[in-house]
Amino acid sequence: MYQTVLLPLKYKNSHFHICYSTSWNNFLFQELINEIVLNENISLNEIGKKIIFHIDFDYFYAQCEEIRKPELRNIPSVVCVYSGREEDSGVVSTCNYEARKYGVKAAMPIRLAKSKLKDIEAIFLPTDMPYYHEISRNAMRIIENYGELFEQVSVDECYVDFTKITNSDFDDAKIFANSLQKNIKDQINMTCSIGVGPNKLISKIASGINKPNGITVVSRQDAKNFISNCKIEDIPGVGPKTAKKLKSLGIDSISDISNKSIFELRDALGYKTATFLVNASNAIDYSQIKARGTSKQIGKIVTLKKDIADFQQINLAAASLCTSVYENLRNKGQAFRILTIILILENLQHVSFSKSLKLYSASFDELHKNSLFIIKEMINNNSISLDNIRRMGVVVSDLKDISGQDSLVNYFEN
């Protein structure tokens, strides 16, 4: 059995799709087009190594309320959007898992929710958006500090590329997911669910599997089997309309879709949806993490030699990381203001520390000097022993374009 998939490609600034068959020798195919740049300078080989986390906070608005009113924790609580027309007119925005036990859910009329919780001690609250956004900002900052490509997609969810930190290893990814979840709980007392997968599609579905406070890891090898066991409606973006259309074509499951070709589905669904669905049903998703605004960053993480035991070795590794980050900055014509050092210890504990410079800089010396300063501080303050450091990363963020020859020379040559 073989399958055709469509690959979106950007080559010499033109966008096009390659249609290729999975019966082709995959390795040869990857080698062949390795030089072709795919959306934003990502090569196919890099995509084949990705580890993406999707993080979704549990019963978000209701959990925000629990943070400031701990007495809500063990009773059903329902956050509502009151329309104001009559008392109790409006809908449920969300509710905690206690209330869900009684069948209360988002978008339900408040009156119906109240009838489900009749004779039960329960609390109904109005939404407080500025407060939820403040909690969201604090939560996202913790995640962003892990220092890899980060994309917030809504008030309570985001994607993070963990490929570098985990060295593309799904076992390590599981440990990182645990540490991230614990870190968020310790710092802001909030639970989240994390999906770990080889792409955004798989990690997004995975984060919803073990809610609340769950972690679901789907490795690259397991992804096809994982998606085959999902329902068509589990694919993000597939609504009841598409599901109905597919049913009318005799397609009831994701396996049914994966046995079709794009060309068979194109007429009924349109080329774009057909491509997306056939790829998705094969656990393929080439969409990239889109870092926005100030969250754009440049970084590099390396695994240190096992016998690294003195500061001289750390110094050498830092110099090499800074050189790579500096060259990247220079190629992009950008200056940075925030510098983050990430240390990953033997037990995969993640320690990071950031420093914000007074002025933007693109100087290698400043990057290197400050990196060493931060590393020394981290080792002194966190009692990290030198032979305990497994990976080290240098990440610069809060980037600014510095166009114009004069400013470029000033920025880079000082």
Which positions touch ligand DCP (CB under 6 A)? 56-61, 93-94, 106-107, 156, 211-212
66 binds Ca ion (CB under 5 A): no
CA dist 363 to 33, 259, 314, 329, 355, Å?
36, 54, 20, 10, 15
Q: Which does 285 bind (CB under 5 to 8 A by kind): ligand DCP, Ca ion, none?
A: none
Q: Is 56 in the site for Ca ion (CB under 5 A)?
A: yes
Residue 288 in tokens: 């990239």
144 binds, among ligand DCP, Ca ion, none (CB under 5 to 8 A by kind): none
Nearer to Ca ion, 57 or 326 (CB): 57
In the bound state with ligand DCP, the residue whose beta carbon lies nearer, of 64 and 277, is 64
Binding segment for Ca ion among 50-58, 253-261, 274-282, 399-407 (CB under 5 A)? Answer: 50-58
Q: Shortest Cβ distance from residue 60 to ligand DCP (Å)? A: 3
Q: How far is the CB of 113 from ligand DCP (least distance, A)?
A: 13
Nearer to Ca ion, 57 or 276 (CB): 57
Q: Measure Cα distances from 1 to 23, 24, 251, 258, 373 in Å.
A: 8, 12, 18, 10, 57
Q: Which does 333 bind (CB under 5 to 8 A by kind): Ca ion, ligand DCP, none?
A: none
Pick the closer one to ligand DCP by CB: 84 or 250. 84
Beta bridge partners of 284: none
Q: Are 275 and 262 in contact (CB under 8 A)?
A: yes
Q: Which does 94 bind (CB under 5 to 8 A by kind): ligand DCP, Ca ion, none?
A: ligand DCP
156 near Ca ion, judged by CB under 5 A: yes
Q: Are 10 and 17 in contact (CB under 8 A)?
A: no
Catalytic amino acids?
A: 157
CB of 75 to ligand DCP, least distance (A): 17
The binder of 107, among Ca ion, ligand DCP, none, by C-beta within 5 to 8 A per type, is ligand DCP
Least distance from Ca ion to the Cβ atom of residue 59, Å:
7
172 touches Ca ion (CB under 5 A): no
Distance CA 200, CA 223 (A): 12
Nearest distance from residue 22's CB to Ca ion, in Å?
32
# residues contacting Ca ion (CB under 5 A): 5
> In angstroms, rounded to a whole number, what is the distance separating the alpha carbons of residues 148 and 2?
35
Q: How far is CA 209 from the centre of its chain?
A: 16
Q: Minimal distance in Å, beta carbon 92 to ligand DCP?
A: 8
Least distance (Å) between residue 133 CB and ligand DCP: 11
CA gap 93, 83 in Å, rounded = 12
Q: Is 285 in the site for Ca ion (CB under 5 A)?
A: no
159 binds, among ligand DCP, Ca ion, none (CB under 5 to 8 A by kind): none
Point out which span in 102-110, 112-120, 148-156, 268-276 binds Ca ion (CB under 5 A): 148-156
Q: Which is nearer to ligand DCP, 62 or 257 (CB)?
A: 62
Is the Cβ–Cβ distance between 142 and 187 less than 8 Å?
yes
Which stretch of DSSP H or E encloses residue 69?
none
Which pairs count as long-range contacts for 127-134, CB under 8 Å and 24+ apart, including other chains?
A: 127/61, 127/79, 127/80, 127/81, 127/93, 128/64, 128/65, 131/64, 131/68, 132/60, 132/61, 132/64
In this chain, which stretch among 153-161, 227-235, 378-386, 395-403 interacts with Ca ion, using CB under 5 A? 153-161
Partner from ligand DCP, Ca ion, none binding residue 106, C-beta < 5-8 Å depending on class: ligand DCP
Enter the DSSP assignment of 88.
T
Contact (Cβ atoms closer than 8 angstroms) between residue 5 and residue 279? yes
**Closer residue to ligand DCP (CB): 108 or 357:** 108
157 binds Ca ion (CB under 5 A): yes
> Can you spell out the DSSP letters for 301-343?
EEEPPTT--SHHHHHHHHHHHHHHHHHHHHHHTEEEEEEEEEE
Q: Are 212 and 294 in contact (CB under 8 A)?
A: no
Q: CB-based contacts of 50: which residues, under 8 Å, 6+ apart?
A: 161, 163, 168, 198, 199
Enumerate binding residues for Ca ion (CB under 5 A). 56-57, 60, 156-157
